[in-house]
Amino acid sequence: MNFTATPQWANVTKTLNSTVGIAIGYMWYLTNNKGNPTNTDIFTLNTTAASTEVIRYVDPDATGSANGTSWTNAYNNLSDWEDKEDTNLVTDGNWHHVYVRSSGGTADTVAVTISGWTTGRENYILIEAASGDEAVKTGWDTNRYRLEVTDARAIDIQEDYVRVDGLQIKLTSVDTNNVHGINVVLVGTGDIRISNCRIDGDISGTSTGNHGIQMNDADATMKIWNCIVTGFINGANTQAGYRQQVGGTVEIYNSIFYGNNIGIYEWSGTSIIKNNAVFNNTDDVSGGDTEDYNANDDGETGSTPGQHTGMAAQRQRGGSCNSHRRDENRKSCCDNRRYECNVPHL
């Protein structure tokens, strides 16, 4: 390769053999324009196998053999899927993709705990609403898949590398404490991703400490985007749309938190909060290490009081990220996040 101008770049492809788990060392040898040779340090990488997708199905209205291998034979709830499918995805060389739908409008009412798996960066779990059953910005839809749980943690994530996309989740709590729409606990350093979900709370009686999404793990990292979380309020009792209980690092983008006791509550750890609409909560944001381009009613740092700006508000009104005008004070989400800017769900 001959670089005749600055900057220039090139892709170099080297095809390796099929051996997995070996270290490969490489370095660059260069000659500058004066003919002087030089070289870089040695770089290393470890070979891994490409993981294979395993697909399963959940439908509360399915009437087949309930083994999850097709829509006809779908599991009838997520808990049954998790109980039957947990495995070592790393040694299997797989990643696990479970689609959920409600073909007849029946709710999934069984809480699910995700544990007993072995996962990896390329061997993750994705729980995804099927096309036509995704959560929508216009409100709760009883014709679509929904996980409706009473007095329990609807989804309790106890494994690394779990992703939840497009689900409707409703938590009803009567005189029950510390139950959540999605709870993350006992995981390692692998990332958790929550996207395009609608999480509703119906909290009453003496219930306290119940949250839409809770991070309760000091080592985990989590990304939340394009979600709507509402209804986590019960008088003066502490409830939050999002609560960061114990450490961890969380990034929250382009989401809407409204009608909660606290919209976003960072008790501990590190949080990055950008391009969200957080409003009509008793307290919009408590804590938060980095806040930029948010909209709320309270005039929090990094926010614009009374203005519902950015992708979150655009989606609430039915618009899209790319339709939002861009200037120094109201930047588009596309400038501020690494994730999908035009996800079609919420």
Quote the CA–CA distance of 62 and 68 in Å, as a whole number. 10
Is residue 312 predicted with pLDDT exceeding 60?
A: no
Is residue 317 predicted with pLDDT exceeding 60?
A: no
Q: CB-based burial of residue 339 (10 Å sphere; 0-12 exposed, 13-18 middle, 19+ buried)?
A: middle
pLDDT score for 333: 36
CATH numeric code, 52-335: 2.160.20
Is residue 123 predicted with pLDDT exceeding 90?
A: yes
The gap from C-alpha 4 to its chain's centroid, in whole angstroms, comes to 44
Instruction: Say if residues 56 and 68 touch (Cβ distance below 8 Å).
Output: yes
Digit-coded pLDDT (tens) for 129-139: 999 999 998 99
Quote the CA–CA distance of 234 and 203 in Å, as a whole number. 6
Nearest to 59 by CA among 110, 98, 105, 102: 102
pLDDT score for 73: 98
Is residue 236 predicted with pLDDT exceeding 80?
A: yes
Is residue 300 predicted with pLDDT exceeding 50?
A: yes
Q: Which residue has the higher pLDDT, 27 or 265?
A: 265
For residues 145-183, one letter each, b for 16 or more C-beta atoms within 10 angstroms of the residue's C-beta and e for the rest, the string is bbbbbeebbbbbbbbbbbbbbbbbbbbbbeebeebbbbb
Digit-coded pLDDT (tens) for 184-223: 998 888 899 999 999 999 999 999 999 999 998 888 899 9
Digit-coded pLDDT (tens) for 36-95: 888 888 888 776 667 999 999 999 999 999 999 999 999 999 999 999 999 999 999 999
Digit-coded pLDDT (tens) for 318-341: 333 332 222 323 333 333 333 333
Q: Which residue has the higher pLDDT, 84 or 271?
A: 84
| Proportion of the chain above pLDDT 70, given as a percent | 79
Q: Which residue has the higher pLDDT, 121 or 311?
A: 121
| Proportion of the chain above pLDDT 90, given as a percent | 60
pLDDT score for 246: 77
Instruction: Say if residues 237 and 207 touch (Cβ distance below 8 Å).
Output: yes
CA distances, 79 to each of 155, 184, 289 (Å) = 9, 16, 35
DSSP letter assigned to residue 137: T
Q: Which residue has the higher pLDDT, 325 or 126?
A: 126
pLDDT score for 316: 40
User: Mean of the per-residue pLDDT values for the chain?
Assistant: 83
